Amino acid sequence: MTVLIKGGAVVNADRTFNADVLCSDGRIVDIGEGLDAPGGATVVDAGGQYVMPGGIDPHTHMQLPFMGTVASEDFESGTAAALAGGTTMIIDFAIPNPQQNVMDAFNEWRGWAQKAVADYSFHVAITWWDESVHEDMGTLVRECGVNSFKHFMAYKGAIMADDEILVNSFSRALELGAIPTVHAENGELVFRLQNALAETGMTGPEAHPLSRPPECEGEAANRAIRIAEVLKVPLYIVHNSCIQSLEAITRARNEGQRVFGEVLAGHLLIDDSIYRHPDFEVAAAHVMSPPFRSKEHQDALWRGLQAGNLQTTATDHCCFCADQKAMGKDDFRKIPNGTGGVENRMEVLWHHGVGTGRLTMNEFVAVTSTNAAKIFNIYPRKGSISVGADADIVVWDPEATKTISTKTDHQKVDYNIFEGMQIKGCASHTISRGKVCWADGKLDVERGVGNYVNRPPYAGYYSALKIQAERARPVPVER
């Protein structure tokens, strides 16, 4: 299959230049001005548009079994919705139940993802510890293309990782050249606050943000950072929602520590007043953890992104429909936590980021694609328009306008957290592994063509860390 993208401006994270892009057999094979279309090639007219690396959403949960139900979006519908919004790869999570064999869980998730229509990969969660988990982490890194492990510091009584698990798993990740990642919230405090609120009779969604204050997030972020500092391992903190965790990351980075931070499109744009909406369905549709925060936190997160202290943007796409959210009608603790957005991340970030002057186009590419590819070690195969890279490309029309709505989106969920938002700039064409999958407002996808993307262990960070550890070794004193 050959596709020629003609007449656009290529926007990479480092520069912008006018060029045509030729794709063949799933790869970019030529970039230059005035390229001719080989016989039989599909030509995409990109005049007046930008040609950018397809988005990478490094945090999704398709068909996640969670809080007594299963997320409504599956790997087929979810990757299709992603393509409609210009995202060509997701990194999802395999999450073993405590005591479940880690390889069994990983293989189960691999099976579910067979129907994906775009590329995907998996972080693997460490939810318990014994010798088999230690062994399986080795197998995953050496044989299964996994280079990142996730730790939930919240969700007590379910998948929460305590300090012992964090220390064991972070140490093992260091040995293997993998990166630990954390959901940073103090699960013990959240549990206590949830129960205290329920006991006072606060049972509605308005109690959700009160049970998960920013301090709980800041404490956990700082604890994970300090554990990583002592063990000399890099760290990636998912869905930072507040000033407290951003400050912990910024401080650590200023001290020279390799800590990376992700921010969700929702946390940049939606505020916590929504939890006081009189309609339970609307308020519950926004219940996710950490919760949406007030405007001052949103402003700080934008600044964190601009300053480079937050490097990636994600969605934590984890959809539950109204009937599922209703499980918590009388008790906010039972509302399944999660919201969608995989289809909208790129357009809301463009509109509110590039459209407001907060981000340059090149910074937009960095935070929606390139930085995730670099941190998770798949760059320049992903996250770059360059010869030899996978032909995962979005053609971006900066003049197109639309109103986001669940009536027109492709996500398998009955509520869109960006409902009614008017945006300017969106994907006119999405090309996945060299095939045009989204054009003229229509999807053309094939079940199961998405590929699992192997992510090799790191070399760079770890050799630097080994040199540092070696130098820090105490020198015996001669007597």
Applying CB under 5 A, the residues found at the interface with Zn ion are 183, 316
Cβ 194 to Zn ion shortest distance, Å = 16
Residues 165-184: x where in contact with ligand URP by CB under 6 A, - otherwise, as a string: ------------------x-
Whichever of 53 and 58 has its CB closer to Zn ion, that residue is 58
3-state secondary structure of 394: strand
From 316, 347, 363, 409, residue interacting with ligand URP (rule: CB under 6 A): 316
Residues 414-453: x where in contact with ligand URP by CB under 6 A, - otherwise, as a string: ----------------------------------------
Tokens standing for 463?
Answer: 């050799």
Which CA distances in Å does 392 have to 87, 203, 262, 268, 429? 9, 45, 22, 26, 11
Cβ 180 to ligand URP shortest distance, Å = 15
- Touching ligand URP, residues 361-390 (CB under 6 A): none
Whichever of 151 and 429 has its CB closer to ligand URP, that residue is 151
- Touching ligand URP, residues 319-348 (CB under 6 A): 337-338
In which residue are the tokens 């005591």 written? 99
Task: Burial-class residue 195 by CB neighbours within 10 Å (0-12, 13-18, 19+).
Answer: exposed
For residue 261, the cross-strand partners are 237
Which CA distances in Å does 439 have to 83, 143, 304, 428? 10, 37, 34, 6
Positive or negative torsion for Cα 230, 234, 237, 243: positive
- Separation between Cα atoms, residue 287 and residue 383, nearest integer Å: 31
68: left (phi over 0), alpha (psi -120 to 50) or beta: left
370 binds, among Zn ion, ligand URP, none (CB under 5 to 8 A by kind): none
Nearest residue to the partner Zn ion, using Cβ: 183
Nearest residue to the partner ligand URP, using Cβ: 337
From 31, 56, 61, 75, residue interacting with ligand URP (rule: CB under 6 A): 61
Cβ 139 to Zn ion shortest distance, Å = 24
Cβ 416 to ligand URP shortest distance, Å = 16
3-state secondary structure of 218: helix
Whichever of 60 and 371 has its CB closer to ligand URP, that residue is 60
Q: Where are the beta strands (DSSP E) in 74-225?
A: 87-94, 119-125, 148-152, 179-183
Whichever of 136 and 316 has its CB closer to Zn ion, that residue is 316
Whichever of 60 and 250 has its CB closer to Zn ion, that residue is 60
> Binding to ligand URP by residue 288, rule CB under 6 A?
yes
Q: Tell me the one-letter amino acid at 164.
A: E
Count of positions on this chain that bind ligand URP (CB under 6 A): 8
Say if residues 55 and 85 touch (Cβ distance below 8 Å). Answer: yes
Whichever of 85 and 290 has its CB closer to ligand URP, that residue is 290
Whichever of 183 and 429 has its CB closer to ligand URP, that residue is 183
Q: Indicate the pairing of strand 50-53 with strand 9-11.
A: parallel
Q: At what angle do helices 214-231 and 187-199 cross, to 10 degrees?
A: 160
Q: Indicate the pairing of strand 20-24 with strand 2-6.
A: antiparallel
288 binds, among ligand URP, Zn ion, none (CB under 5 to 8 A by kind): ligand URP
**At 431, which helix (H) or strand (E)?**
strand 422-432
Whichever of 44 and 284 has its CB closer to ligand URP, that residue is 284
Tokens standing for 31?
Answer: 């970039």
Whichever of 345 and 351 has its CB closer to Zn ion, that residue is 345
338 binds, among Zn ion, ligand URP, none (CB under 5 to 8 A by kind): ligand URP
63: left (phi over 0), alpha (psi -120 to 50) or beta: left
285 binds, among Zn ion, ligand URP, none (CB under 5 to 8 A by kind): none
Cβ 224 to ligand URP shortest distance, Å = 14
Other beta carbons within 10 Å of 171: 16
Cβ 66 to ligand URP shortest distance, Å = 6
| Contact residues: ligand URP, CB under 6 A | 61, 183, 288-289, 316, 318, 337-338
